[in-house]
Amino acid sequence: MKRLVLAILCLLWVAPGLAAARSITDSGGRSVQLPDKIAKVWPAGPPAEALTYILAPEKLIGWTHRIGPESAALMADHYGDLPVIGRLTGRGNTASLEAVIAAKPDLILDVGTVVPTYVSLADRVQDQTHIPYVLIGGSLAETPELLRQAGAVLGVPVRGETLARYAQDELAELQKRIATVPENERPKVYMARGVKGLETDVSGSINGEALTFLGAQNVVPAGVSAGNLADVSLEQVLAWQPDVIIAIDRNFYASVFSDPAWQGVKAVRDKRVYLEPLAPFGWVDEPPGPNRLIGLRWLAHLLYPRLFAADLRAETKRFYELFYHQAPTDAQLDALLGNSG
């Protein structure tokens, strides 16, 4: 993945009396001319909307999907009520270029894995709308730099630096502790997606970065699918025998302990199936962004309980207040962590 080079090359004045502009080189290697002031941001996909809300919610035009009441309640002010504008990237893109033009954003922002397909899309959309389109890439380990870079692009460098330092300290502390865990004590983990629990993250994918970062063994080998996700059979899960299952779908989690077909799986027998908190954003991915920082702490607490025995509720409250602009109530913490170990 190419890294974003956000050093401001120069300040370019269009003409006396007109707004200033700045030129940056984004993660796709594209030179993009930005207005000096960015007040309205159109997020191209879920990672961009989450990042924009985290850094500068007042600049967010709308959401790529409907925000449920549980997520809206964990957001500040009225942000959960912003309109649904659809998405430009990824599976099921629903936003039209006409709608983008009509909204008159100062910037279109796309965040995530940078591949030629997304670079081509950015060029095409920018050419057709004449709206600056910036691609920002970054793996989980590069989250501090992602926050700094996005903060600079959005015009909130101080907040970007504050959050980057939190991320830097958290990642360093997690890595330091995980390094002390012997290989034979690192659990085998299966990520269960969908109502049947048979869609999953592939080893080495962006969706499974949290497991990799924490030194856990993703039981799903990379060769199972050419993409980030794979459909598998229950027979395969039985063969892999994960120690831990992370469930993303509430219905699957509610049924797995009583479903006879899953009783042969070690994680189910040992009652080590946990439901990922998803509000206002997912803790393991959905989307893959800075929201995963609290998920790393949660996963570490589940996978290595003796090593991470600190108060998860206190850290969750601290993270939500800092990143999501609002600390959860005790009742909201109960809802977030009640099925999560």
Q: What is the CATH number of the domain that holds 277?
A: 3.40.50.1980
**Structural domains counted in the chain:** 2
- Centre a 10 Å sphere on the Cβ of residue 79 and count the other Cβ atoms it contains: 19
According to DSSP, the residues that pair with 24 across neighbouring strands are 32
Residues 6+ apart with CB under 8 A from 291: 50, 54, 281, 282, 283, 323
Residues 22 and 137 reside in one and the same domain: yes
Q: What is the pLDDT of residue 286?
A: 87
Give the single-character DSSP code of 27: T
State the residue range of the domain holding 199: 182-337
Q: For 69, how many CA atoms within 13 A lie in the half-sphere containing its CB?
A: 1
Residues 194 and 60 reside in one and the same domain: no
In a domain, 166, yes or no: yes
Three-state secondary-structure class, residue 13: strand
- The bridge status of strand 20-25 relative to strand 31-35 is antiparallel
Residues 94 and 36 reside in one and the same domain: yes
Q: What is the pLDDT of residue 341?
A: 55
Interatomic CA distance for residues 276 and 294, integer angstroms: 11
Per the CB < 8 A criterion, the answer to whether 191 and 208 are in contact is yes
Residues 190 and 162 reside in one and the same domain: no
Interatomic CA distance for residues 183 and 38, integer angstroms: 48
Give the single-character DSSP code of 98: H
In a domain, 4, yes or no: no
Residues 162 and 208 reside in one and the same domain: no
**One pLDDT digit (tens) per residue for the chain, 341 residues:** 444 443 333 333 233 333 457 899 999 999 999 999 999 999 999 999 999 999 999 999 999 999 999 999 999 989 999 999 999 987 667 889 999 999 999 999 999 889 999 999 999 999 999 999 999 998 999 999 999 999 999 999 999 999 999 999 999 999 999 999 999 999 999 999 999 999 999 998 888 899 999 999 999 998 787 788 999 999 999 999 999 999 999 999 999 999 999 999 999 999 999 999 999 999 998 899 999 999 999 999 999 999 998 789 999 999 999 999 999 999 999 999 987 65
Report which of 92, 106, 90 is spatially closest to residue 36, judged by C-alpha positions: 106
Paired tokens of 227: 């993409």
Residues 67 and 147 reside in one and the same domain: yes
Report which of 138, 255, 126 is spatially closest to residue 198, judged by C-alpha positions: 255
CA distance to 10, 93, 151, 162, 292, per residue, from 157 (Å): 17, 30, 5, 9, 21
In a domain, 3, yes or no: no
pTM, 2 dp: 0.90
